[in-house]
């Protein structure tokens, strides 16, 4: 179930320190919620769990980010239209860096691994959007918001 409470969504998330079994339950909940709402990314805080965990992607091409840390951010920025599962009928004109490099933990073949990766273009936008969620920011904090009928 998606969380729409702005006070809760603005909490800074805590480092993930749980077990693999607990992580699997959380990730299943996040993945189901993202799929039900046709999203391309979701943070744990959006399902009521204030942990530094998020998913980006679609279907079986979804990537898990655990305790991500920003390594570098391109000074070159580009404007984008963004929407958010937790901000219904709201579109925001944001300015995001063209690329971002992160280190993060993930799970590969049932084992935890550390990844360092650079994301560019729309992938970089999605990653920065989800990083904002785990740091307590919403898309309205990143640009001019346009609210449609039924926005929350």
- As a whole number of angstroms, the distance between CA 85 and CA 50 comes to 16
Is 127 strand, coil or helix? helix
C-alpha angle with apex 64: 63 to 68, nearest 5 degrees? 120
The active-site residue out of 49, 82, 123, 130 is 130
Q: For the chain, report the end-to-end CA distance as a whole number of angstroms.
A: 15
Does the active-site annotation cover 130? yes
Cβ-contact 55, 37 below 8 angstroms: no
For the annotated catalytic residues, the residue numbers are 130
């Amino acid at each position: 179930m998606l969380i729409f409470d702005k006070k809760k969504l603005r909490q800074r998330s805590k480092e993930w320190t749980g077990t693999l079994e607990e992580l699997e339950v959380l990730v299943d909940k996040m993945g189901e919620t993202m799929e039900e709402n046709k999203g391309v990314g979701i943070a744990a805080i959006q399902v009521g769990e204030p942990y530094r965990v998020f998913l980006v992607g679609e279907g079986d091409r979804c990537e898990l980010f655990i305790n991500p840390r920003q390594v570098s951010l391109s000074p070159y920025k580009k404007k984008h239209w963004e929407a958010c599962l937790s901000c219904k009928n709201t579109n925001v004109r944001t300015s995001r860096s063209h690329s971002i490099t992160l280190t993060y933990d993930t799970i590969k073949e049932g084992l935890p691994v550390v990844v360092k990766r650079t994301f560019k273009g729309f992938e970089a936008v999605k990653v920065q959007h989800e990083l904002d969620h785990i740091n307590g920011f919403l898309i309205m904090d990143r640009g001019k918001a346009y609210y449609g009928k039924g926005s929350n």
